[in-house]
Structure 1
């Protein structure tokens, strides 16, 4: 029986490099965590070790501080080879220069690291650089099996772009659709993606995410104390107005409760409106980007209610799963969400669902949750946490993926 080799193609960074890039303008923390969990979950499930070829997804210079991104090599585990390629980070060409650097790195990997094993390649996200790199691997090693993990659809990312960027995106998606034909299978974060991408049944599975329970520090200690004099609603993540941040602020300011606060962490185009509202209502607290993910998770555990503000009217809501839900639900704190088509029904009984996309419905859902006594609140949060930890942990989800691949 021939040996199996695993290769990851994505935008993973070493822990040290991630911190360095974050200080310069990189803000894809969720992608970093998601990739690391899938990769390490698959390593646990298979007993194998990944090599990885990565291209950073950075805003162009000068939004990101470096005009040239330097190559970084590291090893996430003994026996692993990991590289984040270097490329020119100029506007409009950075994705192209990244793609060609990744393809060159793939050729070097085949010549230097590949020893004729059965090769399984996992590709993270529907982006041209990573897909083109996987197709190059397939060209060099025709027996390789390549699988695409589709977290979001390109059409619903970077909305509000310039006309030039919109035009380039159309060309880019035509290339993506052509490369899609070369993939052996797809791991989709939302089932409706299969319809949109015209992927036939049997060639895809739904895997809306996974979670590493070790990320939540001091969990048992944190749920034993919830009789705060102050109650807090918390939103953490991308502060984008298309996600309904304005509605949340406007609804909150209509709630007459001096013991209630609204906390925001993260950044985005809604920051200015958050600051404007905070001047009018001192209960609104904006913390910006906290120094580490660990501090974000700790802050979440101090909240009374966590809120996912993706809206049903948002075009992407049917074609994506809000990964923030895993992080929220794993805290053991009750989670409020709108009823999004991209959230499978099995999650609904663990969430507090907002009935309609209206301020009044949002206010009603918030006030109803805050009237829960301490026992009810802990039970609601614990049920959600148990669901995530037992059924959506990184080992069981990775095993599910690998068993599907083996059957194929």
Structure 2
């Protein structure tokens, strides 16, 4: 099967270039998710062509148009990345992306017109998805939506209020996204609840909460290599709505001087995090760093935390990628009982049952009071589960079987 993958996915080298040269750092979660899935798919397909709208912000950087090809499988199969040009002129940028996406998608479709093929979409990348969807309809190609978020629940967190133009643009984007979201042939969803709000026509779908790198099975999490101090890590968006303030406030109430809280990421809570860092020597803020560095630190930590409130409606329609990354590290995870998290995960994670500040404090005290061996054993069990059941090759195989049935 030939696959056209329409998203913001870049080659590893190209993404690193963007990350290092952009003042506004691109989201690493989306890159990692689509990269893992694409590398799983290439093991099962003839070849994979990535049509990429690179995650370049309107900031000063020197990123040139680049078309690269990387052999990611032994043999003749490979992933080809076509990174589209992104202008810094708002209207022209979207128009150019639409035109170039349509051209390359049509060229790919005509080249492979006699082959079994499918187009995989990240529907949130609107300009290139609309163009590729048009090609899919013209050439009668299977369209597969990889839905990682619901447009109506996407919130842009800023320090300033949006202007009228930004509000109007955002409303237009959401409206078009919602309209297009109902037009695909197949759906890959993060939670079962997503199906209720987007799949009105009852098209075929499967639930794939996330995926982990199959290569992590070769990365050992060894007790002897962990920090002597009790290191608690939160890595992700720093928003109060995600429970970050509650986590920090709960941590500061702990009396144990040997425990540390390390935070990675960016968001509206940055100033508060820095303020608390000055008030409590046990808190350390690292900002936005490359994901590979975070993964290395997770291996040496004592506990990884995701305090995202389970009572928020948006948790029905999301499965945090950080939970999968936490679990595959082999370090135990403390999380809330998220509405979109299947019950099969519960025995592999520690749960915050009371989501008040005092409840989070109590959960931290209980877990950090366990001996190192017990904590390590829980983390290893979680890793074994996701490596065997949720790795990118297993998940890609489920998808290929699903759309080929």
TM-score, length-normalised on structure 1?
A: 0.90
8 Å CA contact 1:124, 1:130 repeated in 2: no
Deviations 1:211-270 (A, max 9, x none): 1132477414x33445x5411110112222321211111111111111011001222222
Q: Give the match for residue 389 of structure 1.
A: 387
Q: Give the match for residue 138 of structure 1.
A: 136
- CA distance in 2 between counterparts of 1:383 and 1:256 reads 30
Deviations 1:81-117 (A, max 9, x none): 3201002233576445433332233234345x43431
Q: Give the match for residue 68 of structure 2.
A: 74
- CA distance in 1 between counterparts of 2:208 and 2:146 reads 9
Say whether 1:30 aligns with 2:11. Answer: no
Q: Give the match for residue 237 of structure 1.
A: 236
8 Å CA contact 1:337, 1:353 repeated in 2: yes
**1:80 CA drift (Å):** 4.1
8 Å CA contact 2:182, 2:200 repeated in 1: no
Say whether 1:318 aligns with 2:316. Answer: yes
Deviations 1:268-324 (A, max 9, x none): 22211111001111110112223x322211111121110012222434211111011
Partner secondary structure for residue 209 of structure 1 = coil
- Provide the aligned length of Structure 1 versus Structure 2: 394
- CA distance in 1 between counterparts of 2:204 and 2:166 reads 31
Q: Give the match for residue 170 of structure 2.
A: 169
Q: Give the match for residue 402 of structure 1.
A: 400
Structure 2 counterparts to residues 299-314 of structure 1, below 5 A = 299-314=297-312
8 Å CA contact 2:5, 2:49 repeated in 1: yes
Partner secondary structure for residue 219 of structure 1 = coil
**1:198 CA drift (Å):** 3.7
Q: Give the match for residue 74 of structure 2.
A: none
**1:70 CA drift (Å):** 4.0
Say whether 1:209 aligns with 2:210. Answer: yes
Aligned CA distance change for structure 1 residues 79 and 246 (closer, same or farther; 3 Å): closer
Structure 2 counterparts to residues 31-110 of structure 1, below 5 A = 31-44=30-43, 46-59=44-57, 61=58, 64-66=59-61, 70-77=64-71, 79-91=78-90, 94-110=93-109
- CA distance in 2 between counterparts of 1:103 and 1:69 reads 22
Q: Give the match for residue 150 of structure 1.
A: 147
Stretch of structure 1 that moved more, 234-243 or 249-258: 234-243
8 Å CA contact 1:69, 1:88 repeated in 2: no
**1:165 CA drift (Å):** 2.7
Aligned CA distance change for structure 1 residues 386 and 216 (closer, same or farther; 3 Å): closer
**1:357 CA drift (Å):** 2.1
- CA distance in 1 between counterparts of 2:321 and 2:123 reads 14
Aligned CA distance change for structure 1 residues 178 and 278 (closer, same or farther; 3 Å): closer
Aligned CA distance change for structure 1 residues 229 and 85 (closer, same or farther; 3 Å): closer
Structure 2 counterparts to residues 215-226 of structure 1, below 5 A = 215=216, 218-220=219-221, 222-226=222-226
Partner secondary structure for residue 358 of structure 2 = helix
Partner secondary structure for residue 51 of structure 1 = strand
- CA distance in 2 between counterparts of 1:145 and 1:276 reads 51
- CA distance in 2 between counterparts of 1:217 and 1:297 reads 14
- CA distance in 1 between counterparts of 2:114 and 2:184 reads 20
Name structure 2 gaps, 5 residues minimum: 72-76
Q: Give the match for residue 330 of structure 1.
A: 328
**1:50 CA drift (Å):** 0.3
8 Å CA contact 1:318, 1:341 repeated in 2: yes
- CA distance in 2 between counterparts of 1:99 and 1:330 reads 37
Q: Considering only aligned residues, what root-mean-square deviation do their CA atoms show, in Å?
A: 2.2
Aligned CA distance change for structure 1 residues 178 and 275 (closer, same or farther; 3 Å): closer
Say whether 1:185 aligns with 2:186. Answer: yes
Q: Give the match for residue 295 of structure 2.
A: 297
Stretch of structure 1 that moved more, 383-392 or 165-174: 165-174
Alignment equivalent of 1:367, drawn from 341, 365, 370: 365
Deviations 1:51-98 (A, max 9, x none): 111112333x2xx225x9642211132554320100223357644543
Partner secondary structure for residue 343 of structure 1 = coil
8 Å CA contact 2:191, 2:207 repeated in 1: yes
8 Å CA contact 2:42, 2:79 repeated in 1: no
Partner secondary structure for residue 238 of structure 1 = coil
**1:31 CA drift (Å):** 1.1
8 Å CA contact 1:150, 1:186 repeated in 2: yes
